[in-house]
Chain A
């Protein structure tokens, strides 16, 4: 257990800078998720913490000690790779014992720690198997087991679930959450999947193009996204955005209808954001906008209706249950004013 802090961390390859000065404090025992689209620098950041990439600028410290020039093995970290990186010529037991043996740990202790980790992860039965005889989910556990046995201060996960199928991913997600609870260790987890970020994180760090966009708990990011990027990225269904013009205390929507707003800075509003789950069906009289139903996806417990607006834009509406709607029928949608997010010209949220 240890806290990790990043001070103005930069990374460049030649003249190309890919991480532009990241500042972040991770508390001991915290589960922090780096999330962002591919190429945003999240993996690079993790690899710099791991000691696999040299740091071009700034400082990384683990447990109060600057680790910029400390080689990876002495940083007290363990890493779980996307491809699991199990040694194919060693059995599961040997894979897990490898690091300990290198550190010249006494045999009895190696055995005890490997078996303890195997027990936590329920892989005791596979200890003698070779990695190629395991399924993806089992390999994943061995990779995590290999990280656990070394008793690290910080766990680093680099997209550990992206090679698993959807149901296994959900299951392993829960196991990682449990593991964090059991081990009470600092964990840094990189993913491009916002569902993993929402469900696992104590705090989410949203990265975009080598910069931190926002840091906060999952619900903070959901409720108060700082800009249109975070608003569009966090939550399973993307937020809808509508251009608005301001007339006094009313925001005029495309199509001429308007919603009232008492936001003190509403004068700067250029874009209105609303999440699909907050939109409601309405009658033509009470609706803020109308369109035709272009696609409907039924999930049983809910449905996603994609409404084509007169200007051609698609709006997503999440409806409870299994609504009885016909394709191409007219849909009237109401905007509850409590759930509206407003953004200025630069896409920043108005607070």
Chain B
């Protein structure tokens, strides 16, 4: 008994130590963000305020937040729309070699984006797309293979008999897709949308190269540029900025979890 208690106390101490190591960067982040007179040290703030956050959502930083939102939401929506239009026929038509085709696309996605950066850049330059819209298109193109593969698998789970039933009842192809297939795959579509959203939100390289003016920077690029911008590093601003930058990912996580819990399409049809 005695030795058991000692062991468990030792384990507790070791675990607390681990926990401190894990938690300290986060606590540093939070403590500095809420400290208007932050110095970049890990210390208990003398006063607490939201001044840093106010700074991080106004002016340049605020515009960067909107830019990020625009790029992420635009990419996610465009990926889903184009993905649906391509994945539905791929799911329903017996196209020879369709699986090989899909996996070839995935292989393309496996290439590091730096590897395709140069051709993408020149294509965008020729097309006059060196702006946010260009970033959205480029990211959508890079996203599409996975989007296609995921959406096709979701559509595969919608029983063909449901579509036949709707067809017999007089639904056109468009009505079958919008009223039967899409509502039944909404969990899958949400997953794809959120993944594309976070992917585009986190994207750094493409926006950096494509939008070379300060006004066009999303947060990822803005954060990088903010280092040493006003002569010295403003830790309070940077930490608040980082928290805002990370918030959508956390939000997406909870939204996703709720969506996954509501379950996938195609269940509960058989008797």
Q: Is the CB–CB distance between A103 and B170 below 8 Å?
A: yes
Q: Is the CB–CB distance between A85 and B271 below 8 Å?
A: no
Known: A72-B167, A87-B162. A164 touches B271 (CB 8 A): yes
Q: Is the CB–CB distance between A52 and B166 below 8 Å?
A: no
Q: Is the CB–CB distance between A132 and B267 below 8 Å?
A: yes
Within 8 Å CB of A81, what residues of B?
161, 164-165
A136 at the interface (CB under 8 A from B): yes
Q: Which residue of B lies closest to A130 (CB)?
A: B268
Q: Which residue of B lies closest to A81 (CB)?
A: B161
A244 at the interface (CB under 8 A from B): no
Q: Is the CB–CB distance between A73 and B169 below 8 Å?
A: yes
Q: Is the CB–CB distance between B268 and A88 below 8 Å?
A: yes
Q: Which residue of B lies closest to A150 (CB)?
A: B169
B24 at the interface (CB under 8 A from A): no
A163 at the interface (CB under 8 A from B): yes
A51 at the interface (CB under 8 A from B): yes
Within 8 Å CB of A163, what residues of B?
270-271
A81–B166 Cα distance when bound, in Å, is: 12
Known: A85-B159, A103-B170. A132 touches B165 (CB 8 A): no
A89–B159 Cα distance when bound, in Å, is: 13
Number of inter-chain CB pairs below 8 Å: 77
B150 at the interface (CB under 8 A from A): no
Interface centre among A73, A84, A85, A87 (most CB of B within 10 A): A85
Q: Nearest Cβ in chain B — how far from A55, in angstroms? A: 16
| Cβ contacts B116-127/A at 8 Å (1 or 0 each) | 000000000000
A229 at the interface (CB under 8 A from B): no
Q: Is the CB–CB distance between B169 and A99 below 8 Å?
A: yes
B:81-122 near A, CB below 8 Å: none
Within 8 Å CB of A88, what residues of B?
184, 265-269
Q: Which residue of B lies closest to A152 (CB)?
A: B168
Query: Which of B164, B170, B175, B179 contacts A52 (CB under 8 A)?
Result: B164
Q: Is the CB–CB distance between B269 and A83 below 8 Å?
A: yes
Q: Which residue of A lies closest to B165 (CB)?
A: A85
Q: Is the CB–CB distance between B268 and A131 below 8 Å?
A: yes
Q: Is the CB–CB distance between A85 and B265 below 8 Å?
A: no
Interface centre among A79, A103, A146 (most CB of B within 10 A): A79
Within 8 Å CB of B268, what residues of A?
88, 131-132
| Cβ contacts B227-269/A at 8 Å (1 or 0 each) | 0000000000000000000000000000000000000011111
A2 at the interface (CB under 8 A from B): no
A98 at the interface (CB under 8 A from B): yes
A272–B208 Cα distance when bound, in Å, is: 89
B180 at the interface (CB under 8 A from A): yes
A195–B28 Cα distance when bound, in Å, is: 77
A103–B168 Cα distance when bound, in Å, is: 12
Q: Is the CB–CB distance between B175 and A51 below 8 Å?
A: no
Q: Is the CB–CB distance between A86 and B168 below 8 Å?
A: no
Q: Is the CB–CB distance between A89 and B184 below 8 Å?
A: yes
B183 at the interface (CB under 8 A from A): yes
A318 at the interface (CB under 8 A from B): no
Known: A83-B159, A88-B184. A140 touches B271 (CB 8 A): yes
B171 at the interface (CB under 8 A from A): yes
Q: Is the CB–CB distance between B184 and A84 below 8 Å?
A: no
Interface centre among B169, B184, B268 (most CB of A within 10 A): B169
Q: Is the CB–CB distance between B169 and A89 below 8 Å?
A: no
* Minimum-distance CB pairs A-B, first 8: A136-B271, A132-B268, A99-B169, A73-B170, A85-B165, A163-B271, A85-B161, A89-B183
Beyond the given pairs A87-B180, A88-B269, A102-B169, 13 more chain A to chain B contacts, judged by CB atoms under 8 angstroms and listed by A's residue number, are A52-B164, A52-B168, A73-B167, A73-B169, A73-B170, A84-B271, A85-B164, A86-B269, A87-B162, A87-B165, A89-B183, A137-B271, A164-B271
